[in-house]
Amino acid sequence: MERFSKIDSTGDEAKISTDFDSVALGRWIRHYRKAKGLTLDQLASTIDASPSHLSLIETGQREARVTMLAKIAAALDLPLASLMSPPKADRRTELTISLEHAQRSDLYSSLELRKVRVGPNLPNDALEALVGLHQELVRRSSIAAATPEEARKANAQLRISMKKRNNYYREIEAEARNLLTAVKHQGGPLGERRIEQITRHLGFELVYVPNLPHSTRSLTDLKNRRIFVQESGSTGRDPRTIILQALGHQVLQHQPPNNFADFLRQRVEVNYFAAALMISEEHAVPLLQRAKDGRYIAIEDLRDAFSVSYETAAHRFTNLATEHLGLQVHFMRVHENGTIYKAYENDNLPLPADSLGSIEGQLACRHWSSRTVFQAKTPGVSFFQYTDTPNQTFWSCAQTEQTSNGHFSVSVGVKFADSKWFRGRETTQRTRSTCPDPMCCKEPAAALQEKWAGYAWPSAHAHSHLLAALPPGTFPGVDATEVFEFLESFS
């Protein structure tokens, strides 16, 4: 406050003298605001002004009072003087200021490099390049800093947004419908020939290679519009899904992900895209509707009608169930050791969550069908169960499948009242679950507790995929050197 009493000794409410360049001032306020990552609304609320007023100041259409300027300067952590005497706002000055800010950052200090002084002899293009490098450094470090905590948080937020839209993505359904119409698909399974047609329709060529880079499932060469995929299906994944997911990134106009949340969202969208092509809404909905009318909805019917895996059919069912059948559902993919790998619900099944709201990596209740199905030891056969919880009863169906990472269960369920639409509702299998109450299944029975507490020292399996720090890079876990060398060998 003392500093600006010199500038204006007549009183706080005096306006800045009229020879002051309010356009340049406004531009500088905007520059500093953006540099601090604040929106117009955020800065306006900090200084108790309306966003429209602040906007007029920033565009130089209104002169700011000194009190206002002092508040703005304080909110932007700047001495008032730097707002009162803004330099000429040409490109070079902007770059100079950006560079000075960047060189003062903790990130730059941590590199222990010398600071570059911007003198008159430093050419503009060098200055541009330096500022560009700093911006890229900030972007990359924010990706590399994706800790398991951030990954879980991103995951939890993504699930909230999926639940909000009932796991139904109208705009992706539309893209899939247009493509299927373009290749005149008549329904039923999407065969390899159709996949080729879709690829060609989008202006890409499929190239099967024996040596795809290890860290990739597919690789798209945007320069020559080629999609490389592994020759033999040794990955255990449906090659159709891999190709459609690769195309999905292009059709949905994805940009290189800015952060881990972006990466996850894109992955969900291309998964959705691939499933929407393989199990088309146009043909699946009438099939499901007929099944509901006849009270025999079954995931395996969807699986068989479209020649997909049980998991793909089960997951796709969650896309269409609420939107088209008015059914709230839950879905889970759980490892034989109880760890949840994927989960979704909009029927209020109490899924376990960690403090950040993430469900992946938590243990599913031992009494849910996603766990009890393993005791039935009937791989490939549907298992049905009613599960009583303190609030309501659920019905669910489950199947197990073997993968190179062990056995997994895939389960889909609904509230008791909706079980009447499903095949398998007559089951007598019934369990009771009170999770998250620790006495349900997480804590050993009292007798066992008494006998063994203090006498067991297990050595734990580490779930490296859940706990390891996420690998850095625009595409987490992808070895860029390997990828570029691969593309180079084909050019």
Residue 172 vs 435, nearer CB to Zn ion: 435
Q: How far apart are CA 310 and CA 301, in angstroms?
A: 10
Least separation in angstroms between residue 388's CB and Zn ion is 12
Residue 346 vs 362, nearer CB to Zn ion: 362
Least separation in angstroms between residue 394's CB and Zn ion is 13
Least separation in angstroms between residue 336's CB and Zn ion is 17
- Both tokens assigned to 159: 């699930």
Please name the helix (run of DSSP H) or strand (run of DSSP E) that holds residue 83, with its range, or none.
Answer: helix 80-84
Query: 3-class DSSP state for residue 217?
Result: coil
- Both tokens assigned to 97: 């200021």
Q: How far apart are CA 466 and CA 150, in angstroms?
A: 12
Residue 319 vs 433, nearer CB to Zn ion: 433
Residue 369 vs 433, nearer CB to Zn ion: 433
Q: Is 467 in contact with 460 (CB distance < 8 Å)?
A: no
Residue 98 vs 433, nearer CB to Zn ion: 433
Residues 6+ apart with CB under 8 A from 166: 322, 323, 346
Q: How far apart are CA 159 and CA 369, in angstroms?
A: 22
Residue 122 vs 440, nearer CB to Zn ion: 440
Count of Cβ atoms closer than 10 Å to residue 99 Cβ? 22
Least separation in angstroms between residue 365's CB and Zn ion is 3
Inter-axis angle of helices 281-293 and 299-306, to 10 degrees? 140
Q: Cα-atom radius of gyration of the chain, to the nearest Å?
A: 29
- Both tokens assigned to 140: 């990359």
Q: For tokens 């009183």, what's the residue?
A: 11
Residue 178 vs 337, nearer CB to Zn ion: 337
Q: How far apart are CA 370 and CA 364, in angstroms?
A: 7
Least separation in angstroms between residue 362's CB and Zn ion is 11
Residue 172 vs 351, nearer CB to Zn ion: 351
Residue 350 vs 471, nearer CB to Zn ion: 350
Least separation in angstroms between residue 447's CB and Zn ion is 18
Q: Which residues here bind Zn ion, judged by CB under 5 A? A: 365, 433, 435, 440-441
Least separation in angstroms between residue 428's CB and Zn ion is 21
Inter-axis angle of helices 310-325 and 299-306, to 10 degrees? 110
Residues 6+ apart with CB under 8 A from 6: none
Rounded to 5 degrees, what angle do the CA atoms 14, 15, 16 make? 125
Least separation in angstroms between residue 444's CB and Zn ion is 13
Query: 3-class DSSP state for residue 269?
Result: helix
Q: For tokens 């006998």, what's the residue?
A: 451
Least separation in angstroms between residue 437's CB and Zn ion is 8
